[in-house]
Amino acid sequence: MTVRLSTAEAYGRLFDDYDTWLFDCDGVLWRGDHLIEGVVEVLDLLRRRNKKIVFVTNNATKSRKSYKSKFDQLGVQAHVDEIYGSAYAAAVYISSVIKLPKHKKVYVIGMSGLEEELNEEGILHLGGTDSADNTLEPFDLSQFELDPDVGAVVAGLDTSINYTKLSKAFQYLTRNPGCHFIATNEDSTYPTSAGLLPGAGAIGAPLRYALGRDPISTGKPSSTMLDCVRAKVHFDPRRTIMVGDRLNTDILFGQQGGLATLLVLTGITSEEEISGPEPSPIVPDFVTQSLGDLRV
Ligand SMILES: [Mg+2]
């Protein structure tokens, strides 16, 4: 059963009950380039009460450092080490979980933010923003030289996705034995201030279809993301709450990690999906219209 929050007393109890607050960003703090009203005040309130704040985003187009500039631009206080992105989680997964040998490389479908996070972890990579792969020329398999050192393909949101990148990724995944297939996240859509666009999941979908194989995802709801947070931040799951706008990523992520969950309706999820005739099977603990409601 979801508790619908509306009174100052109920919001106050939330502040008392949770010490660590995990926030999704798009659809919670802002929508595209528009800050959601009251967010700055609520975050200030939490900081004044010495709450731990963590931002957990599936956006893999930006590194944590460049994502921080988005906070600055919108006037939201944040520290780089409070920000966890799915590109960072993918890089940590490659270096610390599968422990890809240092001489091995990753073929990238994605943008500079993903490449920056791979660099930070000392992971060699190719593809991505390389102009040779961002071409409108048709892909010629007979001219393609397979690099035997490519041990993983990582796919994230890539606004310059093309047939050459998909073909190269396909070659590595079918011809290099044991090549890992990793997705930064599987969001079907990507919210912008003007409306929805295809998300990272839609970028990796042609490969899944061609291969008949699913990637390992490092974004929410995958536990890899929470493992990354856990490696750096000490928190008690019983006193931790995940705030998000998407049921099948944010809320599921919180639930699978044993955290409390608060759904806001300023992003992807509509009122209809939680209280309509066919509600989602993913049921948050709490719901409120907007994060700004917590200004009490
Ligand atoms: Mg969101």
DSSP-derived pairing of the beta strands 52-57 and 20-23: parallel
User: What are the pLDDT digits (tens) for 193-240?
Assistant: 788 899 999 999 999 999 999 999 999 999 989 998 988 899 999 999
Per domain, the residue ranges of the chain are 3-58+221-295, 100-217
| pLDDT band per the 50, 70, 90 thresholds, residue 159 | very high
Distance CA 83, CA 249 (A): 17
Average predicted confidence (pLDDT) for the chain: 95
Q: Which CATH class is domain 100-217?
A: alpha beta
* 172: helix, strand or coil: helix
Cis check: omega of the bond before 177, within 30 degrees of 0: no
- Tell me the one-letter amino acid at 120: E
Binding residues: 24, 26, 220, 245
pLDDT of residue 148: 98
Domains 3-58+221-295 and 100-217 are alike in CATH topology = yes
Spatial CB neighbours of 38, under 8 Å, sequence gap ≥ 6: 290, 291, 292, 293, 294, 295
Ligand 1 centroid to residue 40 C-alpha, Å: 17
Binding residues for Mg(2+): 24, 26, 245
The one catalytic residue in 16, 17, 26, 133 is 26
Distance CA 260, CA 76 (A): 24
Residue in 254, 185, 223, 179 with CA at minimum distance from that of residue 28: 254
Catalytic (active site) residue 140: no
pLDDT of residue 193: 77
CATH of 3-58+221-295, one of 3.40.50.170, 3.40.50.1000, 3.40.50.300, 2.60.40.420: 3.40.50.1000
Beta partners for 22?
54, 242
Distance CA 181, CA 118 (A): 15
Ligand 1 centroid to residue 171 C-alpha, Å: 33
| pLDDT band per the 50, 70, 90 thresholds, residue 33 | confident
The one catalytic residue in 17, 24, 72, 214 is 24
Catalytic (active site) residue 26: yes
What mean pLDDT do residues 2-26 have? Answer: 96
Q: Against a cut of 0.85, is the pTM above it?
A: yes
User: What are the pLDDT digits (tens) for 79-101?
Assistant: 999 999 999 999 999 998 899 99
